[in-house]
Amino acid sequence: MTGREALLATFDRLFGKAAGKLKVSCSDEERAEAKREFEQRFQAALDIIERVDIPELPEEIIQEMENAVERLSPAEIVGLLASVPLAQQTHELLRAIAFRAAEQRLLEHVAAQADSKYGGN
């Protein structure tokens, strides 16, 4: 089993646990869509661990993750739900800020080269 397969199998199990806790029923299509979204969000990590052969995750570890889902309070669940769109927007904002900072550094670099190449001020 690859690391990717192990994580996706664990996602399936935890998804079922979370749906049970929330008393939400999902169709097979909805469950598959949630898994695709998980794969998209964690594509880079899944690609890296796809090359690693590992045995299945130990049952104790999966059980502890299931217990963590079970221990979530309603307020924590609502907080997690509320943070998803905020995290996505924050990620886009940080990407735009990084792009602008890189643009500024490039302009400063070009200006510094022009100053030294043509004799300064």
Q: Check whether residue 42 and residue 61 sit in a common domain.
A: yes
Q: Check whether residue 13 and residue 56 sit in a common domain.
A: yes
pLDDT tens sequence across 50-95: 888 887 889 999 999 999 999 999 999 999 989 989 988 998 999 9
Rounded distance, CA 4 to CA 43, Å?
Answer: 10
Q: Check whether residue 31 and residue 88 sit in a common domain.
A: no
Rounded distance, CA 7 to CA 49, Å?
Answer: 9
pLDDT band of 120, cuts 50, 70, 90: low
Rounded mean pLDDT of 89-116? Answer: 89
Give me the sign of the Cα torsion angle 72, 77, 83, 84. positive
Q: Which domain holds residue 61?
A: 1-72
Total structural domains within the chain: 2
pLDDT at 23: 93
Q: Minimal CA–CA distance to 14: which of 57, 54, 50? A: 57
From 53, 72, 91, give the residue that closes a domain: 72
pTM of the full structure: 0.68
